[in-house]
């Protein structure tokens, strides 16, 4: 039984779960827009966030030579995936490569200090949650459309904004969890407004999320989207600083995966 728990912990810790969550949202975009993409292109939806989140989590281990225990096999696998990503990127259209380059730049600047400064993008006041949401929108909406050779339209921009709202709200349980450990100058929403107001602000954003779905008919499954919004709202309203270990990192991040599974079954 112990090895199962250890395997599960590695699955979450080494970003396999968040990679699948991003993949699920990108696949939802593919289905909503009726896009036709080959397997290697869709594999990028998992590989890109998998690499990005592992870099964010472990870059200081190598840059600052920190004595943190990491799994050598999994880190080796991550490096292999990175080489694979470089190979796949070389075969992509120029517009897609530029999009990936820009997204990669956001990830690097999220972690690493700006030139001539000791501050990275994550340290900019109030920006952390928006940078996370922007990177997810770029990967789960703009990237699939770019791979399919689709240009941006008013509909796709509204769709992107709706996805932005979803990721903002899904990030709130993490912000609440990290309230005590986050640097006060970050001005996260719980730091700025407190936990109760943050919860209700998340509810208001989800109301707008559902309104956009109904008004613009962004998908053909309003009932499913409404149900996903209610599920996310329940997690946000129950969020607290003293969470169980996997409350945010597994259950909240698993909502897009459940969303995709239900979408494929309906």
Give the separation between CA 209 and CA 107, rounded to whole angstroms. Answer: 26
Q: Taking 80 as the threshold, does the pLDDT of residue 19 lie above it?
A: yes
Q: Taking 80 as the threshold, does the pLDDT of residue 114 lie above it?
A: no
What is the average pLDDT across 55-71? 62
Whether 263 and 221 have beta carbons less than 8 Å apart is answered as: yes
Q: Taking 60 as the threshold, does the pLDDT of residue 62 lie above it?
A: no
Ranges of H-type helices in the chain: 2-13, 16-33, 39-63, 72-89, 94-111, 128-137, 143-147, 154-177, 189-193, 195-216, 222-237, 255-265
What is the average pLDDT across 27-45? 93
Give the tens place of pLDDT for each residue, 153-183.
Answer: 999 999 999 999 999 999 999 999 999 888 7
Give the separation between CA 149 and CA 182, rounded to whole angstroms. Answer: 40
Domain span at 224: 2-265
Question: Which two three-digit tokens encode residue 56?
Answer: 């964010």
Count Cβ neighbours within 10 Å for each residue of 234-266 and write b for 16 or more, e otherwise: ebbeebeeebeeebbbbebbbbbbebbeebeee
Q: Where is average pLDDT lowest: 86-95, 116-125, 208-217, 245-254?
A: 116-125
pLDDT of residue 213: 96
pLDDT of residue 235: 97
Tokens 């107001």, residue located: 197
Counted residue by residue, the chain has a size of 266
Phi, psi dihedral angles at 108 (to 5 degrees): -65, -45
Q: Among candidates 80, 100, 77, which has minimal Cα distance to 89? A: 100
Give the tens place of pLDDT for each residue, 219-261.
Answer: 889 999 999 999 999 999 999 999 999 999 999 999 999 999 9
How many structural domains is the chain composed of? 1
pLDDT of residue 112: 64
Q: Taking 90 as the threshold, does the pLDDT of residue 54 lie above it?
A: no
pLDDT of residue 103: 87
pLDDT of residue 67: 55
pLDDT of residue 8: 94
- What is the dihedral sign for C-alpha 123, 124, 129, 133? negative
User: pLDDT tier at 61 (50, 70, 90 boundaries)?
Assistant: low
């Amino acid at each position: 039984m112990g090895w199962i728990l250890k395997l599960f912990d590695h699955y979450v810790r080494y970003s396999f779960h968040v990679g699948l969550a991003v993949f699920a949202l990108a696949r939802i975009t593919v289905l909503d827009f009726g896009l036709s993409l080959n397997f290697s292109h869709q594999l990028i939806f998992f590989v890109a966030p998998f690499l990005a989140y592992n870099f964010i989590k472990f870059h200081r281990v190598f840059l600052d030579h920190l004595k943190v225990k990491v799994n050598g096999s999994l880190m080796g696998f991550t490096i292999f995936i990175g080489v694979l990503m470089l190979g796949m990127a070389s075969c992509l259209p120029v517009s897609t490569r530029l999009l990936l380059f820009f997204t990669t730049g956001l990830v690097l600047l999220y972690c690493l200090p700006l030139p001539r400064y000791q501050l990275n993008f994550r340290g900019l006041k109030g920006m952390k949650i928006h940078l996370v949401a922007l990177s997810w929108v770029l990967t789960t909406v703009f990237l699939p459309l770019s791979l399919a050779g689709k240009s941006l339209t008013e509909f796709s921009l509204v769709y992107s904004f709706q996805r932005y709202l979803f990721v903002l709200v899904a990030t709130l349980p993490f912000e609440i969890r990290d309230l005590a450990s986050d640097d006060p100058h970050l001005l996260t929403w719980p730091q700025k407004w407190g936990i109760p107001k943050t919860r209700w602000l998340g509810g208001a954003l989800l109301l707008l999320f559902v309104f956009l779905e109904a008004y613009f008919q962004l998908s053909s499954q309003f009932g499913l989207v409404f149900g996903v919004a209610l599920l996310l709202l329940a997690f946000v309203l129950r969020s607290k600083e003293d969470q169980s270990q996997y409350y945010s990192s597994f259950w909240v991040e698993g909502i897009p995966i459940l969303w995709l599974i239900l979408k494929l079954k309906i």
